[in-house]
């Protein structure tokens, strides 16, 4: 190994707001470590065998640890994938202890290329308690050559003992004008509006502006601003998820305006009510956002969220 590699920490914690490119940074760092370009070339080179394996998603010295619901499909036989889908209709939203134990087995075998073995954990706060304790054991006694890269949107939810064993790499929001210019380059119309609703996170703003969730958000905001937001307009659980996000950000905007500050998320509704009641509603919506994927009656759940809005409560 080079002198620089010997000084490499065994664990990094890349943390910051969602939608700021932390996952991409973690991937780039992994590619840098795995690249086998000569010292006189830029790394990652993109052309060596390890770089090509990384792009194909099958580098033998790299493992992703993610909830099944967001994990990329492994490079396996197509029939095996179909069988797994049939057996498991509802992928897990958390990282399980079995996944961490399998990761430990991977880290304790020799590297295929005689270099690093890398574990990328994303989002790290989605580990359940058993998984987190299992990972902690590996962080306390890391195998030689193993590098852990944890990506977290909410590092405060991680065990303090895990945070203390990682070198923290904070990733903040880019300057608004820089993020807006980048969104324009991606073909986004009205980038400032989407950037505001995304809380300044450019990747999340791009996802909103170009995906079906953004279309649902626009419909909900238009109905909210026109005073015709009703549970009957909510079609499925995905729209309930968007509704809970819209209502929570509306609550924050209302609380800010009631306190004499500028709204943050550009939800567009006129100021109404007191800051304390909107903050209480925001907390309620935070709990609701954690429940939207559970089995429930979408229209009934939507009706309960809308009815709890402080402005509507005063009208009854």
Task: Return the CATH number at 157.
Answer: 3.40.50.300
Would you place residue 62 in the very low, low, confident or very high pLDDT band (cuts 50, 70, 90)? very high
Across the range 51-58, mean pLDDT stands at 92
pLDDT in tens, 125-144: 999 999 999 999 999 999 88
| Residue 5 pLDDT greater than 70, yes or no | no
Are residues 21 and 85 located together in one domain of the fold?
A: yes
* pLDDT for position 83: 43
With a CB cutoff of 8 Å and minimum separation 6, the contacts of 230 are 223, 306
* pLDDT for position 87: 44
Are residues 13 and 121 located together in one domain of the fold?
A: yes
| Residue 286 pLDDT greater than 70, yes or no | yes
Output Rg (C-alpha) for the chain, integer angstroms: 22
Cα first-last separation, the chain = 71
Would you place residue 174 in the very low, low, confident or very high pLDDT band (cuts 50, 70, 90)? very high
Across the range 304-314, mean pLDDT stands at 79
Which of the two residues, 6 and 79, has the higher pLDDT score? 6
Are residues 27 and 98 located together in one domain of the fold?
A: yes
Are residues 215 and 160 located together in one domain of the fold?
A: no
Distance CA 46, CA 254 (A): 48
| Residue 232 pLDDT greater than 80, yes or no | no
Is residue 167 helix, strand or coil? strand
Range(s) of the domain holding residue 243: 211-315
Helix (H) / strand (E) element for 214: namely helix 212-225
* pLDDT for position 296: 64
* pLDDT for position 84: 43
Would you place residue 115 in the very low, low, confident or very high pLDDT band (cuts 50, 70, 90)? confident
Would you place residue 271 in the very low, low, confident or very high pLDDT band (cuts 50, 70, 90)? confident
DSSP assignment of 136-165: HHHHHSPPTTEEEEEEES-GGGS-HHHHHT
Are residues 164 and 223 located together in one domain of the fold?
A: no
Distance CA 102, CA 60 (A): 14
Q: Is residue 77 part of a domain?
A: yes
Tokens of 93: 């939203």
Are residues 8 and 151 located together in one domain of the fold?
A: yes
Are residues 84 and 13 located together in one domain of the fold?
A: yes
Q: Is residue 277 part of a domain?
A: yes
């Amino acid at each position: 190994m080079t002198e620089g590699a010997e000084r490499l920490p065994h664990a990094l914690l890349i943390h910051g707001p969602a939608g700021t490119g932390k996952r991409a940074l973690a991937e780039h760092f992994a590619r840098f470590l795995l690249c086998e370009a000569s010292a006189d070339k830029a790394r990652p080179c993109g052309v060596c065998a390890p770089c090509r394996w990384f792009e194909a998603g099958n580098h033998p010295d790299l493992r992703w640890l993610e909830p099944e619901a967001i994990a990329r499909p492994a490079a396996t036989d197509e029939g095996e994938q179909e069988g797994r889908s049939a057996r498991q209709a509802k992928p897990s939203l958390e990282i399980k202890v079995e996944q961490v134990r399998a990761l430990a087995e991977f880290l304790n075998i020799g590297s295929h290329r005689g270099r690093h073995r890398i574990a990328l954990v994303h989002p790290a706060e989605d580990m359940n308690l058993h998984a987190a304790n299992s990972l902690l054991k590996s962080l306390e006694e890391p195998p030689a050559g193993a590098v852990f890269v944890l990506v977290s949107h909410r590092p405060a939810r991680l065990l303090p003992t895990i945070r203390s064993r990682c070198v923290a790499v904070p990733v903040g929001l880019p300057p608004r004008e820089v993020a807006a210019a980048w969104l324009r380059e991606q073909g986004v119309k009205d980038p400032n509006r989407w950037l505001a609703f995304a809380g300044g996170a450019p990747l999340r703003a791009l996802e909103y502006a170009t995906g079906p969730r953004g279309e649902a958000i626009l419909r909900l905001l238009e109905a909210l601003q026109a005073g015709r937001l009703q549970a009957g307009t909510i079609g499925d659980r995905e729209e309930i998820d968007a509704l809970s996000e819209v209502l929570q950000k509306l609550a924050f905007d209302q609380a800010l305006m009631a306190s004499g500050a500028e709204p943050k998320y550009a939800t567009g509704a006129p100021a109404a009510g007191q800051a304390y009641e909107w903050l209480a509603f925001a907390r309620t919506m935070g709990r609701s956002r954690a429940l939207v994927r559970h089995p429930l009656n979408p229209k009934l759940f939507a009706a309960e969220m809308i009815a709890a809005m402080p402005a509507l409560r005063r009208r009854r």
